[in-house]
Structures are given as C-alpha cells and as structure tokens.
A and B are shown apart, each in its own frame.
Chain A
Amino acid sequence: MHGVGIIKGMIETARNFAGSYTDPERLITVQYPEEKLPPVENARTIPFLVYDGVDAMAGLRCTACMICEKECPPQCIYIVKDQVKKPDFVGKLQVQPKVFDIDISVCMSCGICVEVCPFDAIKMDQVFELSTNDRFGGLLVDKTQLAKPNEYFVKLHKTEASEIDARREEEKQKAEAAAAAKAAAPKPTPAPAPAKPPAQAPAAATPPTPQTPAQPTAAPAPAK
C-alpha cells in the first residue's frame, strides 16, 4: 500500500525522539569537552619522553644517542647533547640531552622514533588537545614538556610497560650483583676473563668500556 513506508519511517523517528529522553542508547552523543570518549589503546599522536622516579630531568631515560633524530622521516626532533653526564638506572654515567625539542606541527605520528629507540626512552602519547594560539613557537615542545613519568606510560600501555619494567629491573639486579661481585673481588685477573662464560663477560667488560652503552642491554638478549 502506497505510503506504508513513510508511516514506518515516521514511527522509527518518533521512537528515536521519545527514546532520546529515556533510553541512553538512543542518544549516543558524547558531549565533549565535558564528557570524553574512552581512548583506544592503539591511539598515538605525538611522542613523549619517559622518566623513572620523581625528578623528571634526573630520571630521564634518554641518553641522546641521536638515533631517533636521524630516523625521524620529517626530521622534527632536535637534540643537543649535554656535556654534563648523569647516572642511569644501573648507576652508570650516561650522556643526557641538553635540548630535546620536537616540532609537533611537523610530527606525523609514524612511531619510527619509538621503534628505533634502544632505551625505551621515547614512546607515543595519546594527547590530542594540543592546539595553541602561538603559531610560531607554541608547537615546539621541549624536554620538560615532553617528559612524563613511567606511571603514565604504565597507564597507557600496561603490558608493554610491565615487560619493559621487568627487563630493566632484571638488568638493574644484574648490574647490582655485578657491582657487588666487583666490590667483593677487588683484584680480577685478566686470564680468567676470556675463560669465563659470556654471561659474565658484561660484568667485567662494563667498567672499562663506557663508550659502548648498548652492550649491557644487547648482550643479555643473545645470551638468553
């Protein structure tokens, strides 16, 4: 019968109208900025620098290795190494960045800097309320603005963060054990060093070679 479809359509819209006052499913608007949609875990916008502990600058994991700056496709990361070194989580003195700027108007959220970072120091953040009315300097975020605590990273990506934390904890234990062993055995002989199994090589090799910081994290991996 001609016109039945119209009646059915009008009943549906009437149901929508009446239901929008009673049924929460019929009114699906999220009133931003009072309400926000729950963020998706895979969302990523700009990077942030992870720091452990309370002091942002002292606990910063970044060692200014410049890999992310080199690998960034639009070249939006600007790093300047600092002359002053600071101890890292295992107690070793590490280079730190004096200047770590990211131009977030250029950043394309590819995540390559995160993939290549050997220290789990830079991760992708989920903030999107980044607009500013300073067109020329407002979108160049620096080290202090980029630094966020590890607890925040745990909140964003729990499994990944716990894996990284477990790994770092293990290395810390190993480094402490090695430091304790070194303190207990004050005169290590060079002869036993090559004969010792490779798992113990980092413990002996770490003090004399400060310019290869990649070894402590790289060596345990093939040894496992």
Chain B
Amino acid sequence: MNGLDQVFVRLCHWFAGLFPASVQPLIACIVAITAIMVVFASCFALTTIVERKVLGRMQNRFGPNRVGPWGLLQPLADGLKMLTKEDIVPYSADKTVHFLAPLALTVPIWLAFAVLPFGRNMTAVNFNSGVLFFFAVGSASELAVFMAGWSSQNKYSLIGAMRAIAQMISYEVPLVLSTVPVLMLAGSLSLNDIVAAQGTYTIGGLARWNVFTPWGLAGLLLFLIAATAESNRSPFDLPEGESEIIAGFLTEYSGFKYALFFLGEYLGLFAITGLAVTLFLGGWHAPFQWLEWVPSWLWFAAKFGALIFLFIWVRATLPRLRLDQLLNFSWRFMVPLCLINLLVAVAWYWSGAWKSVVAMPVRWLLCAALIALPYHWLGRALRSASQSPRKYIYAE
C-alpha cells in the first residue's frame, strides 16, 4: 500500500507547503529534525522500561511493575527523579568542561541520525559519503568521555575515562573495517545506495540482504560486537561497571547531566543499530517479495526492535569482560577476522561470475569455510593466550 508507506513524507510535504517557497527547505528540515528527536527520545524512554522488564524476565523475576500498568510509566518516574535531583558539581572540578561534557556527547550523536534511511524516501540528509559522516560524528563523541573523566578531578573518573577511551578506540577499528566489505560491494558510501543495492530478490523470493551472504553474516556479527563495545554496554561495560570503578567517568555526575549521559549512550546504541539494519539487514526492505505491502518504515522498526532485543539478550547473558580481555579480543581476534572478511567478500564477488546451477551452495560453502577456519584458529590462539599462567610483577 503505497499510501501508508509514504504517509510521513506526504505529511512533511503538506506541512512545508503551508509556508512560502523560500523557507520550504528549512521547514522540511525542521520537521525532519523534530520527528527524529521526538521518535528517538520516546524510543529511549520505551527502551529503558523494556530493557528492565526483559532483563528481569530473563533473570527469573518481574521487571518494574508498580508504577503504571506493566510498569509503563516507569520512564516518567525515572525522568522526574533525574530532573529533580540536585546537580552536584565537585568543588575542585573544572566547571566549564564538566558542564560541556554531556553536551559534547549528546550533540554529535543526534547528528548521526541524519543519514539513516528510516523508510522509502525517508532520509533526513542524503550525503554522498553518509557512512563516513556517521563514523566521524561517532568518534567526535569520544572526546566527551575524556572531558567528563578529567574535569571531575577524581581518580576513579580519570581511570574510568582512560579505560573507556581505550575501549572505544580499540573497537572503532573493527567497527569500521567490518563495514568495508559492504561499501566495497555496494560501490558507494551513500546509505541510500547501500539500501537500494539490497533491494533485489532472488528466485526463491528471499531478499538479497547482505546478511544472507557469508561475509555479510560475519560482518554483521563483528559489527554488532563492536557496536556493543562502542556503546559501553554489557559485556563491555567496564567503564561504568559499579563493582569495578564506582561509575567510571560518570561518578561525579548527578541529576540532569547524568540523564543526558544516559540518553547519549542509548541514542548511540540506536544510531549504531540503525546503521546495522541499513548496512546488513537490508534497511527498509521486506525479507520476502510477497511481504512488500507492509510499509517500509515498519520493516525498519521491526528489524531495529529485533536488534535491540538481541542487545538486551546479550546483556542478560554474559558477564563483564576485563580490560585486558577486552583489548586482546579486539586487536587479536576481531581485526584479523575483519581483514579476512574483506578477502571473503572479494572471493564472493569474483565467484558471482560463476554461471552454474550449483554455484550458489558452492560459493556459500567456499566463502563460509574461508571465514570459519580462521575464526576457529584465532579462537584457539585467543584461548591459549588468555589462559597462560599469569606473570606477577611485584612492587619493590
């Protein structure tokens, strides 16, 4: 049904049409910005309660269920609490930097939503190098972590901030490298082009999403692991684990500033999930051709929700990684695998020229073996490296 699919685009056009022609682009921009902010802020509120309830159910308990029916008004209660809490700034803290850090975190992440295609014709800004823009603003928010940690003049904050930055920089490399096969095979950095390249359907009706290829599956897994680390989520939440370092770089933040950090973290998660959906899961395309009547933004939302559930599921399952385990995993396991994934993608591309009925399974097996064997060997190497006897260094 084309009507429902383009309903938001038409609403935007109608609203912009109410204004004189010279300001119409500006009005359209403002409408898009408002829509994104409203949708993702309410998504943030919903995710906090859904996460707590799902985590609870996975841990054999109810989540919060006192505030509203099924606890649905809990985000409201949390928001009120955060807003009315006293904003404590330490006496010796650097006031300007302490104030600017939550802003420096949240503003670039809001920018990242501008390039995501939420549906057919529903991208706010269509850059030619959209993916590069996304990673650029993602890395700009890392400086805010340092600002937060340093300005608090607190040893815990500083150590937590250093650890957080080390983790985020280490995992930026696999994050970007795992998207390179997608860019290579789509031939463009623009997110709309990448989604369009996944829009064709095979004979069986299944869509040609990137995740249905060996390199796409491996790429998606690597991307999701790196995304979990970039958002400081469990099992990579060493920077903010309470039993590790009080609250890391968030120690000296209370009230609304803490709420802003929380918001920034979840928004970063949403942005990266949106990118994963766009790059690997076919964006707003339906999985089967006969399902195309469902609106495109609904497909995006469904895939988005599924990935968020996956993140919550992983959080409920895995214990926290130690810093050296974390860094080993990134540099010794994920980066080599990402580089090998590139080769697999190239092999897939070249073997796409095979013209035979049995070509598809053979290609699949070959490329899957090409990535599974290094995965197995690297896994063995990682395990033996981490279980060698510890070397103790005593202080003199």
Contact = CB atoms under 8 A, between A and B. Distances in A.
Is A–B contact present in the complex under a CB 8 A cutoff? yes
A13 B313 contact: yes
Chain A, interface SS category: helix
B379 A10 contact: no
B54 interface: yes
Interface residues of B, number: 19
Residues of B contacting A: mostly: helix
Contacts of A14: 58, 313
B62 A16 contact: no
A137 interface: no
Contacts of A27: 57, 60-62
A169 to B, nearest CB: 49
A195 interface: no
Contacts of A2: 375-376, 378-380, 382-383
Given A1-B376, A28-B61, A31-B62, A13 B316 contact: yes
Nearest to B310: A10
Contacts of B62: 27, 29, 31
B318 A16 contact: no
Interface residues of A, number: 18
A223 interface: no
B59 interface: yes
B317 interface: yes
A10 B313 contact: yes
Contacts of A158: none
Given A1-B379, A2-B379, A3-B379, A17 B61 contact: no
A1 B61 CA distance: 32
B245 interface: no
Given A1-B379, A17-B54, A9 B317 contact: yes
A28 B60 CA distance: 6
Interface in A1-27: 1-3, 6, 9-10, 12-14, 16-17, 20-21, 26-27
Nearest to B378: A2
A2 B58 CA distance: 24
Contacts of A13: 58, 313, 316-317
10 contacts: A1-B379, A6-B317, A6-B318, A12-B317, A13-B317, A16-B58, A27-B60, A27-B61, A29-B62, A31-B62
Query: Which 4 A-B pairs give the minimum distances between C-beta atoms?
Result: A2-B379, A20-B57, A13-B58, A9-B317
Interface of B: 54, 57-62, 313-314, 316-318, 375-376, 378-380, 382-383
Interface of A: 1-3, 6, 9-10, 12-14, 16-17, 20-21, 26-29, 31
